[in-house]
Amino acid sequence: MRFFHVATSARCTVLTLLLALAPVVSLSAWPGEPGPAGWRNLLKIDFTRLPAGLATEYQDNGEVVARLSLSADVKRSGERCLQIERLGKQGFCRPILAEAPVTPGGRYYFTCWIKSPVIGSVPAVFFERFNAAGKFAGRDLADMVTQPPDMILRYGGWVSWLPYMTADPAGFNRLEWEFTVPDGVTALKLGVDFGGVIGSAWFDDFGLYALDEEAASAP
């Protein structure tokens, strides 16, 4: 994983953590949404309807603790976005939204936008990794903690927390990173997670792009 950062829709302030070598492209300069215009988004997510087979209610000990729906009132772009409404603090709500084939050793860029104004909320996105035999090979997760005026970004169980001052803690915030697929991994499943509070979080404009593929096809 090379780096990640979070940015707000209100202004282009960016916090970036370099984990290895600097990226070869300037991701923040891309004008397209969610990625560069003309680039192929590997995530086939259509929020005109929920993905097939996705549960709309999540229970804990027989009690409904979360509901999944499409929101037309609160969205960042398009007609709708994904909304998770938490009715209780217990239990889990971790729907898988899409699967994408990837190339071992290939470089990829992921982006999405999250709105979660509830103080103390921890909305997250994650990738589950699988090999060619369909065997689970690990999970990568990034989340945000809403604690105005800070947006705190965490990745993969790190102990250190990264404060981020945002101009719009009640608006949509961008979570994005560039990464290299580990050896043997041929598919990624994208999921979202939201828990620990009562309230709602909204997820929109998911994008996954193969940087090596796009660089090879560039004029």
Cis omega (within 30 of 0) on the bond before 149?
yes
Q: Residue 34 falls within a domain, yes or no? A: no
pLDDT < 50: residue spans in the chain? 1-32, 156-167
- For residue 22 the two structure tokens come to 């600097």
Q: Which of 110, 86, 91 is nearest to 23 (CA)?
A: 110
pLDDT of residue 118: 79
pLDDT of residue 120: 77
Q: Residue 29 falls within a domain, yes or no? A: no
Q: Where are the beta strands (DSSP E) in the chain?
A: 3-8, 14-18, 57-60, 63-71, 81-86, 96-101, 107-115, 124-131, 136-147, 150-155, 162-165, 172-180, 185-193, 199-210
Contact predicate 35/111, CB 8 Å:
yes
Gap between the Cα atoms of 28 and 51, Å rounded = 29
Q: Residue 149 falls within a domain, yes or no? A: yes
pLDDT of residue 196: 79
Cis omega (within 30 of 0) on the bond before 34?
yes
Q: Residue 26 falls within a domain, yes or no? A: no
pLDDT of residue 161: 38
Residue with structure tokens 């202004």?
A: 11
Gap between the Cα atoms of 63 and 18, Å rounded = 43
Q: How many domains is the chain partitioned into structurally?
A: 1
pLDDT of residue 149: 58
pLDDT of residue 212: 84
pLDDT of residue 177: 79
Q: Residue 121 falls within a domain, yes or no? A: yes
- Residue 63 belongs to domain with CATH number: 2.60.120.260
What's the alpha-carbon Rg for the chain, to the nearest Å? 17
pLDDT digits (tens, 9 = 90+) for 143-193: 777 665 555 655 544 333 344 444 466 788 888 778 889 999 999 999 999
Q: Residue 77 falls within a domain, yes or no? A: yes
Q: Which of 94, 119, 109, 123 is nearest to 191 (CA)?
A: 94
Q: Residue 28 falls within a domain, yes or no? A: no
Q: How many CB atoms lie within 10 A of CB 206?
A: 23
Contact predicate 68/193, CB 8 Å:
no
Q: Residue 53 falls within a domain, yes or no? A: yes
Q: Domain limits at 137?
A: 3-21+41-217
